[in-house]
Amino acid sequence: MDRDPQLRDPQLRNIHLRELLVGIEGLALLRRLLVGDDEEATARIAEVRRLVDEAGDAAFGLSAAAPELGVRDGYAAWSATYDEPGNPLIGVEQPAVWAVLDAARPGRALDAACGTGRHARRLADRGHRVVGVDGSPEMLARAQAQVPEGHFSQGDLRDLPLPSDAFDVVVCALAFDHVADLAQPVAELARVLRPGGRLVVSDVHPVLTSIGVAAYFRGADGASAFMRNHGHVHSEYLEAFAAAGLEVRRCIEPRFGDDEVAAQSLGMAFVPEATRAAYDGLPGALVWEVVRSSG
């Protein structure tokens, strides 16, 4: 996938620990406002006061400079560390996607916006003949190393360098949040899918993007950076699927549990109760299973 035009107005954001922790406290307080109790609310407000008042606390004053990167540069920087454990989004997304893929009969499979090839590897292990496309040469190199029997090439999700009606299964994971309009990439995925074929799409759940979640990461050099998410609500997917002749079979919305909450390392280190209240049970990923109409 050619994931990125050049950014017009990139930002350099200084991310302060105090801001993060106060934000977690606020989310926890809001989620429990009507269904919690006075003791919880009092604890949250007391922690907010402590975070704000203790201006001289060196730990709370820690910050990290995180430049905003375009998607092409972002994935080039992230490619070396993308598969490291501890990503809560992948923790909920991957099992849900694999449960759908594992039900598909072996055939020709496309991993569109394949990244490091984690889903391509799963498909190959299940007997599929795998093709992968991505806009990042760095990601493609890792995918090819992980799935040496696959065929990988650079390309744009909105203009796939592939023939029509060519694949029995197509998966596109955690990529649509990098495009502003779903219509063209969905139409392209439908084009390369054979009639009756299965498409699996996953992305960040719109609940998370609505509260400001972005693709924040550390590269191999330890430097932080982030890429913005566009965020798409359910109706945008449904409209794009219908326009492309795709029928929805299933929508899966896995939620954050204990493991994903534990992955919020800074929150758990400083405000663990608030972190649990803020994140536990939030829908983390959105996974669609759709089928191309035969008619």
Domains of the chain by residue range? 69-264+283-292
- pLDDT attached to residue 61: 60
- pLDDT attached to residue 154: 97
pLDDT band at 11 (very low <50, low <70, confident <90, very high): low
- pLDDT attached to residue 52: 87
Above 80 in pLDDT, residue 243? yes
Q: Tens digit of pLDDT for each residue in 246-257?
A: 999 999 999 999
- pLDDT attached to residue 265: 87
For residues 70 and 189, give the distance between their C-alpha atoms in angstroms, rounded to a whole number. 23
Q: Is 219 helix (H, G, I), strand (E, B) or coil?
A: coil
Q: Which of 264, 224, 263 is nearest to 78 (CA)?
A: 224
Distance of CA 54 to the CA centre of its chain: 35
pLDDT band at 3 (very low <50, low <70, confident <90, very high): very low
For residues 122 and 202, give the distance between their C-alpha atoms in angstroms, rounded to a whole number. 15
Under a CB-based contact definition with an 8 Å cutoff, are residues 67 and 243 in contact?
no
- pLDDT attached to residue 36: 84
- pLDDT attached to residue 63: 67
Under a CB-based contact definition with an 8 Å cutoff, are residues 16 and 61 in contact?
yes
Above 90 in pLDDT, residue 276? yes
What is the pTM for the complete model shown? 0.91
- pLDDT attached to residue 190: 98
CA distances from 27 to 24, 93, 142, 262 (A): 5, 22, 37, 17
Mean pLDDT over residues 242-270, rounded? 96
Q: Which of 109, 237, 99, 3 is nearest to 117 (CA)?
A: 109
Q: Tens digit of pLDDT for each residue in 159-215?
A: 999 999 999 999 999 999 999 999 999 999 999 999 999 999 999 999 999 999 999
For residues 22 and 267, give the distance between their C-alpha atoms in angstroms, rounded to a whole number. 10
Pairing of strands 224-227, 246-252: unpaired
Choose which CATH entry (3.40.50.150, 2.40.50.140, 3.40.50.720, 1.10.357.10) describes domain 69-264+283-292.
3.40.50.150
Given the structure tokens 């550390």, which residue do they identify? 218
> Which residues make beta-bridge pairs with 159?
156
- pLDDT attached to residue 128: 99
Tokens found for residue 208? 């998370």
Q: Tens digit of pLDDT for each residue in 109-139?
A: 999 999 999 999 999 999 999 999 999 999 9
Mean pLDDT over residues 4-17, rounded? 64
Q: What is the average pLDDT value for the chain, to the nearest integer? A: 92
Q: Which of 72, 98, 91 is nearest to 263 (CA)?
A: 91
Under 8 Å CB-to-CB from 43, ≥6 apart: which residues?
Answer: 273
